[in-house]
Amino acid sequence: MGALEVYRYERKFLVSERQAESIRRFVSVYMEPDRYMAGTGPDGYRVCSLYLDTPQLALYRQSVDGLKNRYKLRIRFYDDAPDTPAFLEVKRRTTETVHKLRVMIVKSAVERLLSGRRPSAAELLSNSDTSNRALSGFCESLDRIQADGVALVDYRREAFVSSAAENVRATFDRRIVGCPYRRGSGLMLGDDVTPIPVRGVVLELKYNGRAPRWMHDLVSDFGLQRLSFPKYVHCVDVLKSASDPLSARPRFGVRHHELV
């Protein structure tokens, strides 16, 4: 998939491993493992993101302050192999809706991109209107706030998709770790990887328009409570705590349990 543009709702919940097992059985009636789950272990596949921000952490503070209209800049990848792609992503939240626009590039272009050089057409892995628009949007956002790499967040994802409804997904995220980004290190975790404390498994339900009826039943039957769990924010908090133990405090913002 060379480029992607989606508008959807994303609802997060924190569940225990025991609940996750029961919820997996529940969603398996309506969904199937996504194609990237093939050949992976019980925790699914790896997801890693390099988050970009200003020196003053302006995008981090948008999330901490709970701004309804905010965005993230990140470079996502799925392994350490130098010949696999990376994805430039701008993820915007407007009130309750998420808009994600991303483009796929060769990994070797990432360091040059962070040094101010826009990827060439040869470094794009697809040449479509969406790809070019996504690249322009990412580079313009990067330049506008003079963002640079801040932190790498890595975790394992177990993912399910619906064959009956487009863009309906359920994901379980575990084993979340983070480390500071250091220029010149490429898209590689450093030796100073730090676990991100999570009291369970991060469950996320994603859908367009209105949630399927079974999602409402899932939330109701398991008594799930929505919460805010921005991984980038938690990572920065944990990394800050290395020098000031009081600076990292839990940011689990519990919200109402209804879906749209």
3-state DSSP assignment of residue 238: helix
Quote the pLDDT of residue 260: 52
What would you measure as the largest C-alpha separation in the chain, in angstroms?
51
Residue 198 structure tokens: 């999570």
Quote the pLDDT of residue 121: 83
Quote the pLDDT of residue 252: 47
Quote the pLDDT of residue 135: 94
Backbone angles phi, psi at 2, to 5 degrees: -75, -35
Rounded to two decimals, the pTM is: 0.92
Helix or strand (DSSP H, E) at 157: strand 148-161
For the segment 129-153, the average pLDDT, to the nearest whole number, is 95
Q: DSSP label at 146?
A: T
CA gap 81, 125 in Å, rounded: 16
CA gap 50, 37 in Å, rounded: 22
Does residue 257 carry a pLDDT above 80? Answer: no
Quote the pLDDT of residue 243: 56
Domain 3-254 annotated CATH 3.20.100.30: yes
Residue 33 structure tokens: 């493992």
CA gap 252, 58 in Å, rounded: 20
Quote the pLDDT of residue 227: 92
Residues 62-80: tens digit of each pLDDT: 999 989 899 999 999 999 9
Does residue 24 carry a pLDDT above 90? Answer: yes
Mean pLDDT of the chain: 90
Residues 201-244: tens digit of each pLDDT: 999 999 998 999 999 999 999 999 999 999 999 999 999 886 55
Q: At what angle do helices 17-27 and 213-221 cross, to 10 degrees?
A: 150
Instruction: Tell me the DSSP string of 158-206.
Output: EEEE-SSSTT-EEEEEEEEEEEE--TTS-S---TT-EE---SSEEEEEE
Does residue 1 carry a pLDDT above 50? Answer: yes
Quote the pLDDT of residue 236: 95
pLDDT range class, residue 254, cuts 50, 70, 90: very low
Residues 113-126: tens digit of each pLDDT: 988 899 988 899 98
Where are the chain's structural domains? 3-254
CA gap 242, 195 in Å, rounded: 12
Q: Quote the distance between the C-alpha of residue 253 and its chain's center.
A: 18
For the segment 10-31, the average pLDDT, to the nearest whole number, is 97
Closest by alpha carbon to 29, among 126, 146, 163? 163
Residues 158-205: tens digit of each pLDDT: 999 998 888 899 999 999 999 999 888 889 898 889 999 999 999 999
- Separation in Å, CA 244 to CA 72, 126, 230, 247: 25, 45, 21, 5
Quote the pLDDT of residue 242: 64
